[in-house]
Amino acid sequence: MLRLRQIKLSYKTDTLDNLYEKICKKLKLTKDKLLDVKIIKKSIDARDKNNILYVYEVDILLKNEKEVLKKYKSTDLFVAPIEKYNFVSFGNKELPSRPVIIGSGPAGLFCAYLLAEQGYRPLIIERGEKIEERIKSVEKFWKSNILNENSNIQFGEGGAGTFSDGKLNTLVKDKFNRGKKVFEIFVENGAPKEILYINKPHIGTDILRKVIINMRNKIISLKGEFLYNTTLTDLDIKDNKLCGIKLNNKDYLKCDNLILAIGHSARDTFYMLRKHNISMEAKAFAVGLRIEHPQEIINTSQYGISTNILPPASYKLTYTTKANRGVYSFCMCPGGYVINASSEKKALVINGMSNHQRDSKKANSAIVVTVNKNDFGTDIFSGLEWQRNIERTAYKLANGLVPIQKYSDFLQNVPTTSLASLKPKLKGNYTLANLNNYLPDFIIASIKEAMPHFATKIKHFDNPDTLLYGVETRTSSPIRIIRDNQGVASVLGIYPCGEGAGYAGGITTAAIDGIKTAENIAKKYKPYPKND
């Protein structure tokens, strides 16, 4: 097959027939010579607002490929590379006991999926509920503010990404095609096929929930096993090697290979690991507020027109303050909702999510400011406790509700007393507030300095009636669990994995790290016999 780049179609004429016609025109071929077409990439070029284009990259099968390749003198046409994921070769050691995975977020779930496919029969331990019950607990919390500390937005089958936009884009260099494998697994389990090629793929929380159930069932069919409502509470370590684990403070399980895919909010687990002197370090993260606009404002600014033909527009904004502090948009949710994402009692944290159609007519994104050891201290747990203190302060000031403020009031440092006709798109209950009191002064000052700059990139970004929500603190893990080149922690048999361990920053990167961890297990051990 050949790969052809830079095929451009007007967004108004974006059909497969027109795509095939453009391919033939570009290569000066008749349609009968074009045997097959596979879309590899599809993106929007909106730099010229008067001529918005879809830009394609495709693999094509032709009758006379060598002749066409020789005749067509352009770097836009070349032999299609082989882009396939290949699992590593297996080790020779017998498994002393089945691999145990703590956490069923993207890292844990994909690690389990790969291990199950290859015959390792993993046991997945999840402190929260399976997705069907977790949804009920979350919706109950949004209505009543009654929190299940083990099953909420942060904890439960699918992890924190389940209640998000389901964004899959990543900047990770992927020469081993692990990311491609992640996308293929998603599609095999019910995700839209377009995620395989669209420039900024996303699944949406509604579809992602169904995909997770299908992945679970596939793992079970391959002799994997899940334990829900089960928390890792202690480790049995002898001579610096893992021998077993304790669950729910009572049940002992022999365990020689433990994958810690715990997520960035498993604070109790981090403290338990420190008790056993497992090497960890504090890392930088970011905190701030979430901002909400009518989606039409974002569409008009990004596309130059208000249209329902193009998908709801997104944005990515960055700014460096005069004090050399980074401010940036994070987890942007086109057509989405702000959500109360709390996971600890008497502590408040928010996030954003979207359904696949992104049809709420509101766009939201976190606007966060980088923080580091100079801000929160040098102890391993200084950042975690600094983060936790902000969440507890926010909860106390807002009586457990999500605080909202108009941007104009935020600038003037006065509480918002009325939203008039403004209608927040929020999952949870809210109160009107003055968000200047919710975060450290340097965070507030940095956001205020960045906003006029952001308004030069997105017209009306600083509209006086723009809504701000507090507080966004869980952008990434404040702690990294140290591991070596084989993915092993300072105690043998423990494999830190994913976003919570400090090695990922989103659904795709966490899933990729889960696959890498599965490979590290397989390099050492051989799978169970098929007929055993």
CATH hierarchy code of domain 100-281+479-524? 3.50.50.60
Residue 527 and residue 119 in contact, taking contact as beta carbons nearer than 8 Å: yes
Whether residue 306 has pLDDT greater than 90: no
308 DSSP 8-state letter = S
Residues of the chain with CATH 3.30.70.2700: 2-79
CA dist., res. 479 & res. 176, Å (int): 27
CA dist., res. 414 & res. 520, Å (int): 54
The set of residues, in sequence order, having a beta carbon less than 8 Å from that of 66 and lying 6+ positions away, is none
Residue 169: predicted pLDDT:
83
CA dist., res. 422 & res. 167, Å (int): 27
128-162 per-position pLDDT tens digit? 999 999 999 999 999 999 999 999 999 999 999 99
Residues of the chain with CATH 3.50.50.60: 100-281+479-524
Looking only at the bridges linking them, the beta strands covering 350-353 and 337-340 are antiparallel
> Does domain 2-79 fall into CATH 3.30.70.2700?
yes
The set of residues, in sequence order, having a beta carbon less than 8 Å from that of 256 and lying 6+ positions away, is 95, 96, 97, 242, 243, 493
Residue 430: predicted pLDDT:
97
41-72 per-position pLDDT tens digit? 999 999 999 999 999 999 999 988 888 888 88
As a whole number of angstroms, the longest Cα–Cα distance in the chain is 72
Give the C-alpha distances (Å, rounded to integers) separating 144 from 342, 343, 352.
13, 15, 19
199-258 per-position pLDDT tens digit? 999 999 999 999 999 999 999 999 999 999 999 999 999 999 999 999 999 999 999 999
Whether residue 458 has pLDDT greater than 80: yes
Residue 143: predicted pLDDT:
97
Strand order in the sheet with 337-340: 350-353, 337-340, 426-427
% pLDDT > 70, the chain:
100
78 forms bridges with which residues in the sheet?
Answer: 3
